[in-house]
């Protein structure tokens, strides 16, 4: 049922050494207080890449204390914004210089195609830091007109110690989305990486110190959610929490934040984004983009276009072409040239995706291609396309987070708007049409944080990203992300002689 694969023989040896496996606290790599470590695994085989220091509540306490000291005593928040900006620019240069190591670590730990890591994600990683470096010295308050003899101004100040929890699907980009705006605005940070992918963040944090970041400003804790993550979310001395991951965990960390010191929380959570192909769409382009929207990064994208709605008039043609495209998708060792799809991140996700495929079959959807494991080791899954998907099937409702495309049929615009919005999620949507009125109608009617018209997954440092409904709140990237890390202080000064 699935035609293209690169034979899996011995996994290719990654072109990088793992040099940083400890926790980064107060500018130093240290063991965890408990002395415990955990293995980080190669998704191609399930073999251990390295044993990494396992941080828990005590390490979070040490890291928060270091971040607090760095914030309260400086120099970071007290440096000129221009000096902070220069640190970030030097960091961006170092990222570019070390693209090979960063990309190799990202592919090894995560399983994503090496070309994707090296040509898209690492360049985007440095781009994001240059973008935020540009903001550092352009943050300022307002002069406000008030009724009365007062001079009123606002100061935009850093919020303090930011706790940041990131997932495993884009380890470096999630690092940048969180750390970039927090540093540009003068905060200090405790970053908890995902237990599946701790390696690239440690390497990047080392480069950031080489670029001149003072000790204690960024602390990186590898470890698990219910221990290290929960300790960070509930810490009384953390002033702000930013989280990306599942909606279920988003609810937990929001509760922990509320029960402790009511720290404000920004959340970037799951999605079940509609991808709408209208009857007048350029079908070949829509097929290719819908394929990319779903299968990119092994389907492990929060904004994946995972409900492909196709107008009935072009449905059969779309199915045939989507099936042919998926059958051509090249699966194999992510270090191999030409491979488009590597393994899923871990056994848990692999099993979860396989169970959704089973559920799709049981609920009566038609498998056009794929549907099975690829190879016999590691966590590879064949690119899978389901047709005849109905809205009430689990594969049309849940976030699968894998290479499984669900294609649904629709008749008219108002119907597809209702069906697209009939979800608790609201992260993104794709629209394919050549009609301006259709595009404008859908843009306004769809309840989602990003609408891509005749394109998908266009990410840019300046474009804000975030969710409606249970896909989260707050926006990352762009100018909007700065507010997540700023306090506004109103300063009211009585005027001695208002008439003057
Ligand atoms: P998760 O939400 O459990 O993990 C994300 C981060 O939260 C990790 O760093 C994890 O250690 C941490 N975490 C987990 N439990 C925590 C807790 N109790 N307190 C504090 N932090 C905690 O996600 P997952 O288990 O890795 O993946 C599950 C599902 O989440 C996926 O199948 C997918 O649907 C979704 N997901 C979404 C994104 C996204 O970008 N929005 C990313 C990864 C996973």
Residue minimizing CA distance to atom 26 of ligand 1: 167
Contact 37/362 with Cβ under 8 angstroms?
no
Contacts with 27 (C-beta within 8 Å, 6 or more apart), sequence order = 209, 214, 215, 216
Find the residues whose C-beta lies inside 6 A of ligand 1. 165-169, 192, 194-195, 224-226, 229-230, 233, 244-246, 249, 252-253, 268-270, 302, 349, 352, 399, 401
How confident is the model at residue 205, as a pLDDT? 98
Question: Chain-centre distance of CA 84, in angstroms?
Answer: 25
Q: What's the pLDDT at 9?
A: 74
Work out which ligand 1 atom sits closest to the CA atom of 301: 40
Mean pLDDT by 10-residue block, N- to C-terminus, for the chain (500 residues)? 66 96 98 98 97 98 98 95 98 98 98 98 98 97 94 97 98 98 98 98 98 98 98 98 98 98 98 98 98 98 98 98 97 96 98 98 98 95 98 98 98 98 98 98 98 98 98 97 98 84
Residue with the smallest CA separation from ligand 1 atom 8 is: 194
Q: Kindly give the number of the ligand 1 atom that is closest to the alpha carbon of 399.
A: 34
pLDDT at 212: 98
pLDDT for res 425: 98
Which of 93, 193, 160 minimizes the C-alpha distance to 133? 93
Catalytic residue among 268, 340, 368, 399: 268
Crossing angle (nearest 10°) for helices 81-97 and 99-110: 70
Ligand 1, pocket-test mutation among 225, 268, 269, 306, most atoms within 8 A of CB = 225
Q: Are 18 and 50 in contact (CB under 8 A)?
A: yes
Q: Shortest CA distance to 194 belongs to which of 174, 170, 218, 223?
A: 223
Opening angle at CA 378, ends 373 and 383, nearest 5: 35
Q: Which atom of ligand 1 is nearest to the CA of 166?
A: 9
pLDDT at site 286 = 98
278, 301, 302, 303: which one is catalytic? 302
Residue 59 Cα to ligand 1 midpoint, Å, equals 20
Instruction: Output the pLDDT for position 500.
Output: 62
Give, using CA atoms, the residue closest to atom 6 of ligand 1: 167
Q: For residue 268, indicate whether it is catalytic.
A: yes
**Position in ligand 1 atom list of the atom nearest CA 249:** 2
ipTM: 0.96
Task: Ligand 1 pocket test: pick from 38, 167, 304 the residue with the most ligand atoms within 8 Å of its Cβ.
Answer: 167
pLDDT at 261: 98
What HEC string does the chain produce? CCCCECCCCCCCCCCCCCCCCCEEECCEEECCCCCCEEEEECCCCCCEEEEEECECHHHHHHHHHHHHHHHHHCCHHHCCHHHHHHHHHHHHHHHHHCHHHHHHHHHHHHCCCHHHHHHHHHHHHHHHHHHHHHHHCCCCCCEECCCCCEEEEEEEEECCEEEEECCCCCHHHHHHHHHHHHHHCCCEEEEECCCCCCHHHHHHHHHHHHCCCCCCCEEEECECHHHHHHHHHCCCCCCEEEEECCHHHHHHHHHHHHHCCCCCEEEECCCCEEEEECCCCCHHHHHHHHHHHHHHHHHCCCCCEEEEEEECCCHHHHHHHHHHHHHHCCECCCCCCCCCECCCCCHHHHHHHHHHHHHHHHCCCEEEECCCECCCCCCCECCEEEECCCCCCHHHHCCCCCCEEEEEEECCHHHHHHHHHCCCCCCEEEEECCCHHHHHHHHHHCCCCEEEECCCCCCCCCCCECCCHHHEECCECCHHHHHHHEEEEEEEEECCCCCC
Ligand 1 atom nearest the C-alpha of 224 is 11
Distance 274 CA to ligand 1 centre (A): 22
Distance of CA 352 from the midpoint of ligand 1 (Å): 14
CA of 224 to the centre of ligand 1 (A): 10
Q: 263, 190 in Cβ contact below 8 A? A: no
Residue nearest to atom 25 of ligand 1 (CA): 246
- What pLDDT, on a 0 to 100 scale, did the predictor assign at position 10? 87
């Amino acid at each position: 049922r699935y035609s293209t694969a690169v034979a899996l023989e011995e996994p290719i040896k990654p072109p990088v050494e793992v040099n940083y496996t400890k926790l980064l606290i107060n500018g130093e790599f240290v063991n965890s207080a408990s002395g415990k470590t955990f293995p980080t695994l190669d998704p191609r085989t399930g073999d251990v890449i390295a044993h990494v220091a396992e941080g828990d509540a005590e390490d979070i306490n040490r890291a928060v204390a270091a971040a607090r000291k760095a914030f309260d005593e400086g120099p970071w928040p007290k440096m000129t914004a221009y000096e902070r900006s220069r640190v970030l620019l030097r960091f961006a240069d170092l990222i570019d210089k070390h693209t090979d190591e960063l990309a190799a670590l990202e592919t090894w730990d995560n399983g994503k195609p090496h070309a994707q890591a090296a040509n898209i994600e690492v360049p985007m990683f440095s781009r994001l830091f240059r973008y935020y470096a540009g903001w550092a010295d352009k943050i300022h308050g307002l002069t406000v007109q008030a009724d009365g003899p007062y001079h009123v101004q606002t100061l935009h100040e850093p919020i303090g110690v930011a706790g940041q929890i990131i997932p495993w699907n884009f380890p470096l980009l999630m690092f940048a989305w969180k750390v970039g705006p927090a540093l540009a605005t003068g905060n200090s940070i405790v970053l908890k990486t995902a237990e599946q992918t701790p390696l690239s963040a440690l390497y990047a944090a080392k480069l950031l110190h080489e670029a001149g970041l003072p000790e204690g400003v960024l602390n990186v804790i590898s470890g698990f959610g219910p221990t290290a993550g929960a300790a960070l979310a509930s810490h009384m001395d953390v002033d702000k929490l930013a989280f990306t991951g599942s909606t279920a965990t988003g609810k937990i960390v929001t509760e922990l934040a509320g029960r402790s010191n009511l720290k404000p929380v920004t959340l970037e959570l799951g999605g079940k984004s509609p991808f709408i192909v209208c009857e007048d769409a350029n079908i070949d382009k829509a097929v290719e983009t819908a394929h990319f929207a779903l299968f990119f990064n092994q389907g492990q994208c929060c904004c994946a276009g995972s409900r492909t709605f196709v107008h009935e008039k072009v449905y059969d043609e779309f199915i045939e072409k989507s099936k042919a495209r998926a059958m051509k998708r090249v699966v194999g060792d992510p270090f191999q040239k030409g491979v488009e799809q590597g393994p899923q991140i871990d056994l848990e996700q692999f099993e979860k995706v396989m169970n959704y495929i089973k559920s799709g079959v049981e609920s009566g959807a038609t498998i056009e291609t794929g549907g099975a494991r690829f190879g016999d080791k590691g966590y590879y899954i064949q690119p899978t396309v389901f047709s005849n998907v109905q809205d009430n099937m689990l594969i049309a409702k849940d976030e699968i987070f894998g290479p499984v495309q669900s294609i649904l049929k629709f008749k008219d615009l108002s119907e597809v708007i209702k069906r697209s919005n009939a979800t608790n999620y609201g992260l993104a949507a794709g629209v394919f049409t050549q009609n301006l009125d259709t595009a404008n109608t859908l843009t306004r009617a769809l309840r989602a944080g990003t609408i891509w018209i005749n394109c998908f997954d266009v990410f840019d440092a300046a474009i804000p990203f975030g969710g409606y409904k249970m896909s989260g709140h707050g926006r990352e990237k762009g100018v909007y992300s700065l507010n997540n890390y700023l306090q506004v202080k109103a300063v009211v000064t009585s005027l001695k002689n208002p008439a003057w």
